[in-house]
Amino acid sequence: MNLSLSNLLRPFALRARSAPTVRRYDAALGQPWGDQPRFGRVASETLTAVSTVRARARHAYANDPYCRAAVEAWVTALVGAGARPTSAHPDADVRAMIGGAVDDWADVADLAGRTDYWGLQADLVRAMVLDGEALALMINTPEGLRLRQIPAELLDESETRDLGQGVHTVGGVEFDRYGRRVAYWIRPEIPSSIYAAWAPPERIDARDVLHIFKAMGPGQARGLSWLAPILLTAKEVDKLQAALITGAQVAAMMVGFVKNTMKTSDDLVSAGMAYTPGPVEYLEPGTVKNLGNDQDWVTATPPPQSQHGLGFLSAQLRAIAVGVGVPAHLVSGDLSSANYGSLRADLIAFKQRAEQVQYAVLAPQLLRPVYARAVTALVFMGEIDARDFETATRDWTRAEHLFPAPPWIDPAKDAAAERDLVAAGFKSRSQVIAERGWSAAAVDAEIAADHARERALGLSFGATASAASRPATTEELVNNADA
Q: What is the DSSP string of 224-255?
A: --TTGGGHHHHHHHHHHHHHHHHHHHHHTS-E
Kindly state the helix (H) or strand (E) to which residue 399 belongs, with its residue range: strand 399-402
Strand, helix or coil for residue 184: strand
Q: Which amino acid is at 474?
A: T
pLDDT at 247: 74
- Fill in the DSSP letter of residue 346: H
Domain map of the chain by residue range? 230-332
Main-chain dihedrals φ then ψ at residue 205, nearest 5 degrees: -60, 140
For residues 101 and 378, the answer to whether their CB atoms sit within 8 Å is yes
Q: How many CB atoms lie within 10 A of CB 29?
A: 14
Q: How many Å apart are CA 304 and CA 252, to the nearest integer?
A: 10
pLDDT score at 144? 93
Q: State whether the Cα torsion 189-194-197-198 is positive or negative.
A: positive
Rounded Cα distance, 163 and 158, in Å: 14
Residue 330 CA to residue 110 CA, distance in Å, equals: 30
For residues 84 and 367, give the distance between their C-alpha atoms in angstroms, rounded to a whole number. 9
- Which helix (H) or strand (E) is 411 found in, with range? helix 411-423
Alpha carbon distance 109, 381 (integer Å): 15
Helix 65-78 to helix 117-130 angle, to the nearest 10 degrees? 130
Question: Are the C-beta atoms of residues 58 and 131 closer than 8 Å to each other?
Answer: yes
pLDDT in single tens digits along all 483 residues of the chain:
455 545 544 544 444 444 444 555 666 665 555 556 677 788 888 888 899 999 999 999 999 999 999 999 999 999 988 888 888 899 888 988 998 899 999 999 999 999 999 999 999 999 999 999 999 999 999 999 999 999 999 999 889 999 999 999 999 999 999 999 999 999 987 777 777 667 889 999 999 999 999 998 888 999 999 999 999 888 888 888 888 777 777 776 655 555 555 555 565 556 555 545 556 566 565 555 555 556 666 665 666 656 666 778 888 888 999 999 999 888 888 887 777 778 888 888 899 999 999 999 999 999 999 999 999 999 998 888 888 888 888 889 999 888 887 777 677 877 888 889 899 988 888 778 877 767 777 788 888 888 889 888 888 876 544 444 445 555 554 455 554
pLDDT of residue 12: 45
Task: Give the separation between CA 293 and CA 116, rounded to whole angstroms.
Answer: 76
Q: How far apart are CA 81 and CA 121, in angstroms?
A: 9
Q: For residue 136, what are the β-bridge partners?
A: 149, 210
What integer pLDDT is reported at residue 196 of this predicted model?
67
Residue type, 279: P
Q: What is the pLDDT of residue 276?
A: 54
Instruction: Quote the pLDDT of residue 290.
Output: 58
The rounded Cα 95 to chain-centroid distance in angstroms is 33
User: Alpha-carbon distance 138 to 298, whole Å?
Assistant: 73
Give pLDDT, residue 237. Answer: 86
Backbone torsions φ then ψ of 387, nearest 5 degrees: -70, -30
